[in-house]
Each structure stands twice: as C-alpha cells, then as structure tokens.
A and B are shown apart, each in its own frame.
Chain A
Amino acid sequence: MQTVTLDSSLEGVDQGEALILDAARRLGFDEDALHEIGVSVRESLVNAVAHGNRFNAKKKVHLMLSEEPDKLCIEIADEGAGFDADAVPDPLGEGNLLRQSGRGLLMIRAFMDEVSVTRREPSGTLVRMVKLRRPAA
C-alpha cells in the first residue's frame, strides 16, 4: 500500500490523478478503463478538496493506493466535517436532472467496480474504490 499526502488545492487534485493513472498504466488497464479511473479519482479528489477540506491549506487529503495483479484499490480521505452520501439528492430523480451539481458520486459508481463512502473518526470522509482489470477480449 502506497500512501501520499496531497494539498487541498486543484494542484493536489492533478497530482493525485497523475499518480493513480501512472499506477493503472503499469497494471495494464486499457485506455477506456484509464479514462474511467481518471474521472473517478478526479471527482473524489475534488470532493475531498472542495467539499471536505473546503480548500483549507491546513487540511490534507490522504491518497492510498494498492496494486494487485487483477485490480487497483484506491482510498481517498479528507479531514473535513464528514459527508452523508445518502443525503445527496438523487441526480436522476424527478426534478433533479437540471441541478447544477451532485453528479460526482453517480459517475464514480458508474465507472468503478466497487465504491464505498464512510465517515472517518474523528472527522472526515473516506472513499474506497476498486477497478478490476479484465483480460483483453
């Protein structure tokens, strides 16, 4: 397991996305999977930086990466007040399609094979996601 600490900034988001994509390339994920992993990691990092840590320079984002032959496991944790994923209005719900925000988790769940969102103690949110590497057809 590799752990990296990132600043609560868009530069931190770029750094984290690049690191994960390098690892995914090493594991042999194809271009479509790389795109899905990149979008998911970026969405999660933006949530951590913007909504969790609220761009507070004193707070950090912790990115954990575990490479296995058949999958990539990613954990992203912030130091914010915590986040209740069930409280986010369903972006596909009646009357919500034209909302400007609230689609990040929907996209992550569509692109990754496993996703969980939990509260950290004493504070913060932990997002864990897994992408399976499928053999070439």
Chain B
Amino acid sequence: MSLKLSIRQVGDVTVIDAAGRMTLGEGSSDFRDKIKELTASGNKRILLNLGEVNYIDSSGIGELVSSFTSVSTAGGALKLLNLTKRVQDLLQITKLYTVFEVFDDETSAIRSF
C-alpha cells in the first residue's frame, strides 16, 4: 500500500494524516512535495500524524528529516503525532527522537505550537 496523505486544518495548525508505507518509490516524494506546497502557501505549523504508517525505510526517514529542516528553515515547525511501535523503534535507532517533537495526543500537540 503506497502512502496516502489527507490534509485538515485545526486552528492555525495543518494536520497531515498519513497512511501506508513511506518508502522509496511509494510516496516519500509525494510527502516532500506536499510539505513544499504547504510552506510555500504560508502553512508552517505542521503536525504529521503517522498513526497509520507501519513501515518507513531509510528513504522515508530521509524525507522526514529533509521536511523537518525545510519547515524549520522557513520559520515554522514540523511535529509528529501517534507513532506506531515500529516507527518509534526507527527513531530510537537513528537517534531522531532527539530531533523531532513527538506527541501521542492531538490536542496537546496542537496546543504546543
């Protein structure tokens, strides 16, 4: 199952609900394009809900990092919501839990921006 992205607005925060696999050739570049589009249109407070993403490869991790950097450089913030155990493990292995702000509750995540 390739990556599916749904966008919704909660106050001034843009929530991206992602579902599927985030791998090379299966939507990781769609994610990059979506982030570019959002930041270019002034939506720089982005919450990425990964609750339905069970599989991320190193290419997908690279896209997450690249998007984090581009949103931060634009003066915004990209935060993560609802990580599955497997994605949590990947962030531990790659030490990226020290980079990303991660939430398991959407209300708290929205308030944190």
The answer to whether the Cβ of A104 comes within 8 Å of any Cβ in the partner chain is: yes
A100 partner residues in chain B, CB cutoff 8 A: 62-63, 65-66
CB contacts under 8 Å to B, within A74-108, are 91-92, 97-104, 106-107
Of A20-28, A35-43, A59-67, A119-127, which binds chain B? A35-43
Interface of A is mostly: helix
B55:A103 contact, CB within 8 angstroms: no
Contact residue range for chain A? 20 to 34
Q: List 16 A-B contacts (CB under 8 A).
A: A10-B24, A35-B54, A35-B55, A39-B57, A42-B57, A43-B58, A46-B57, A50-B24, A100-B62, A100-B63, A101-B58, A106-B58, A106-B94, A107-B57, A107-B58, A107-B93
| Chain B residues near A (Cβ < 8 Å) | 23-25, 54-55, 57-59, 61-63, 65-66, 68-69, 86, 90, 93-96, 98-99
Do A97 and B96 touch across chains, with their CB atoms under 8 A apart?
Answer: yes
The answer to whether B62 and A107 have CB atoms under 8 Å apart is no
Q: What is the bound-complex CA distance between A46 and B25, given in angstroms?
A: 10
Contact B58 A10 (CB under 8 A): no
Known: A35-B55, A35-B86. A99 touches B65 (CB 8 A): yes
Partner of A106, one of B62, B63, B65, B93: B93
What CA separation (Å) do A50 and B23 show in the bound complex?
14
Let me know if A4 is at the binding interface, CB within 8 A. no
Main DSSP-derived SS at the B contact region: helix
- Name the A residues within 8 Å of B24 (CB-CB): 10, 46, 50
A-B contact sample (18 more), CB < 8 A, given A98-B68, A106-B94, A107-B57? A35-B86, A39-B55, A42-B23, A43-B58, A46-B59, A50-B24, A97-B96, A97-B98, A98-B99, A100-B63, A100-B65, A100-B66, A101-B59, A103-B58, A103-B61, A103-B62, A106-B93, A107-B90
Instruction: Given the known inter-chain contacts A98-B65, A98-B69, A100-B66, please indicate yes or no for A92 contacting B95, CB distance below 8 A.
Output: yes
* A101 and B90 form a contact (CB under 8 A): no
